[in-house]
Amino acid sequence: MEVRMVAEREHVVIVGAGFAGLQAARDLAGKPLDVTVVDRHDYHLFQPLLYQVATGKLEPQTAAYALRRIIRKMPNVNFRMAEATGVDLEEQLVEVSDGPPLRYDHLILAVGATTNTLGIEGVREHCYPMKTLEDAERMRDHILACFEHVSAHPQARDIEASLTFVIVGGGPTGVELAGALADLIRDVLDEDFPELAMEDITVLLVEALPHVLSPFEEKNRDYARRSLEDRGIQVRLETALESVSEGHVHLPDDEVIRTETILWTAGVRAQPLADRLGLKQVGNGQILVDDDLSVPEHPNVWVAGDLAGATDPDGDPYPQLAPVAMQQGSHVVRQIAKRRRGEPTEPFQYTDKGIMATLGRGSGIAELPIGPSIRGRLAWFAWLGAHVGFLVGVRNRLLTVINWVYAHFFRQRAARMIIRGSEAPRATPAEDVESD
Ligand SMILES: Cc1cc2nc3c(=O)[nH]c(=O)nc-3n(C[C@H](O)[C@H](O)[C@H](O)COP(=O)(O)OP(=O)(O)OC[C@H]3O[C@@H](n4cnc5c(N)ncnc54)[C@H](O)[C@@H]3O)c2cc1C
């Protein structure tokens, strides 16, 4: 009998198939290594479009793509749908909720971030977060259900609370959500609910800082605030939320706003897995990494994306953005190759792709790496183009464009439907952690 010795190939486990993990898997495809991608969902989620799901512009499936469909084209890559529950760093094992643990030679941790309640009382119980597809669907259903409720009970005392929508957080996510919500109300719900007076509806954006859109230049922040106000959105700056109780937002100076809808976009922190690894954490729970993105004292463990506590050459944390995550995913794969060849690794350096935000239909801001920033319709088109370009799958791209055209020209929303029912809020943040 012929016995053939087959050299066992090294095994890379990637935990998390978001922007960073999926990019790493793509870069490892076809390499002489075995790769297993672990994710608790069987789809890759395009988070930048979540606010469009939450406001009925896009169907949830358009912002997601089946992971097995992507991975089946990569012969050396396998997929395991499971929650990673821990890592045994000594034995080099990833523990998962479903199935035996996975042994690794190289581990890439890329589980991203989750909602952060910032320790504010009542946020967990009463606010609607927007970090997952389920969150966005729940938000959409609740917003639409508020209108149905007022239509069914026009004499009720709580009309003001039902038609007051408070968005907490004036970063890009909160600003984009506010603009899209104002559009939904003006373009669609105004006509769908002729019995309601639009003057009774309030969209309020609350931000603790003296400006919205922190990452942008000052002139663009002012432009954004004015654009939102022109759309009828009330913008409250330098207003730190004190607490939330059922039906109420509590602001400084004992000010209380009656509302049934508090949309929470104010904070993110590392996924709970980060707290279970016994590794040093920084910032909002991210794992401390060396400048090559490996974990100190664990040279075969790498962290990429929102989970990575990496800093730029000036010592500032990298922004939590999809391009940063993708570039870090690629960087880690290159460093694994260097380690295997016995070469020294290189520090991660981000190539800035610019930042963009929409402010509602036909309006946006884009600060590109070169040239002056652009605003208004041109920036909005740039945003559309960039996001369609990054979406996974031809079908998703086509559907997205069709839905945008439909919304823009016909003032309709393809997915303005209550599908899951109107559930109570359910934030899914982990406990807030102490970190340095
Ligand atoms: C509403 C919203 C809008 C945004 N808009 C923009 C934008 O316009 N432009 C931009 O550049 N960035 C935007 N971002 C930020 C961007 O989406 C993130 O920076 C990016 O997703 C980070 O990529 P990642 O791979 O680190 O994590 P993610 O993309 O979050 O992927 C993490 C993956 O890990 C999986 N996972 C988590 N925990 C586990 C576990 N324990 N076990 C197994 N799997 C797990 C998740 O299911 C997920 O697939 C936005 C984010 C949000 C929430």
For the segment 282-318, what is each residue's pLDDT rounded down to a tens digit? Answer: 999 999 999 999 999 999 999 999 999 999 999 999 9
**Which atom of ligand 1 is the closest one to the Cα of 41?**
47
Q: Which residues pair with 261 in a beta bridge?
A: 165
pTM tops 0.85: yes
Distance 272 CA to ligand 1 centre (A): 14
Q: What is the pLDDT of residue 281?
A: 98
Q: Which residues pair with 366 in a beta bridge?
A: 356, 374
Distance 353 CA to ligand 1 centre (A): 18
Instruction: Pick the range with the lowest mean pLDDT from 165-179, 194-208, 397-411.
Output: 397-411
For the segment 335-362, what is each residue's pLDDT rounded down to a tens digit? Answer: 999 999 999 999 999 999 899 999 999 9
Of 15, 40, 47, best ligand 1 pocket probe by most atoms within 8 Å of the beta carbon? 47
**Dist. CA 131–CA 109, nearest whole Å:** 19
Average pLDDT over residues 110-120: 96
For the segment 153-173, what is each residue's pLDDT rounded down to a tens digit? Answer: 888 778 899 999 999 999 999
Strands (E) located in 169-254: 202-206, 234-236, 243-245, 248-251
Greatest Cα pair distance, the chain, in angstroms, is 87
Percent of the residues in the chain that have a pLDDT greater than 90, as a whole number: 83
Q: What is the pLDDT of residue 432?
A: 44
Q: Can you tell me whether residue 297 is helix, strand or coil? A: coil
Query: Does 176 participate in catalysis according to the annotation?
Result: yes
Token pair, residue 151, equals 């239509």
Q: What is the pLDDT of residue 258?
A: 96
Q: What is the DSSP string of 286-311?
A: EEE--TTSEETTEEEEEE-GGGEE-B
Average pLDDT over residues 376-389: 91
Residue having the nearest C-alpha atom to atom 19 of ligand 1: 321
**Dist. CA 12–CA 371, nearest whole Å:** 41
The total of other beta-carbon atoms located within 10 Å of residue 424's CB is: 10
